């Protein structure tokens, strides 16, 4: 089943891989949700996705899992550093962690 990840009710991502977890924050001893996804980004969408991720403040929504939380980037990697060249596709890996007030 294809799952959609929606960030800030604006950016919709169709992950090729998705996992969720809860980790204990060692500093405060509280569980925090994490969401790890792999997804493709085309050269056509690169600028929008890159500038969106630079915000680093997200309302995460995965409707099929009934999962919603506020998060920031814990880990982020990409296979391509220059998607401004036409007809390129990059593999992105993104892990978001729940924000604590």
Q: What's the CATH code of the domain at 13? A: 2.40.30
Checking if the pLDDT of 17 tops 80, the result is: yes
Checking if the pLDDT of 31 tops 70, the result is: yes
Q: Give the structural domain span for 30.
A: 5-98
Average pLDDT in the 50-75 region? 96
Task: Tell me which of 101 and 56 has the higher pLDDT.
Answer: 56
Average pLDDT in the 27-37 region? 94
Lookup result for tokens 């569980």 = 31
Sheet with 31-42: list strands edge to edge.
11-13, 5-7, 58-62, 67-78, 89-98, 31-42, 17-24
Q: How far apart are CA 70 and CA 99, in angstroms?
A: 6
Number of domains the chain contains: 1
* pLDDT of amino acid 86: 87
Please give the mean pLDDT across all residues of the chain. 93
């Amino acid at each position: 089943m294809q799952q959609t990840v929606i960030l800030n009710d604006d950016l919709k991502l169709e992950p090729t891989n998705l996992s969720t977890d809860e980790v204990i924050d060692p500093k405060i001893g509280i569980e925090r949700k994490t969401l790890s996804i792999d997804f493709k980004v085309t050269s056509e969408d690169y600028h929008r996705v890159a500038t969106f991720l630079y915000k680093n403040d997200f309302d995460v929504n995965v409707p099929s899992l009934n999962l919603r939380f506020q998060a920031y980037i814990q880990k982020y990697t990409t296979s391509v550093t220059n998607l401004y060249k036409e007809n390129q596709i990059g593999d992105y890996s993104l892990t978001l962690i729940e924000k604590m007030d």
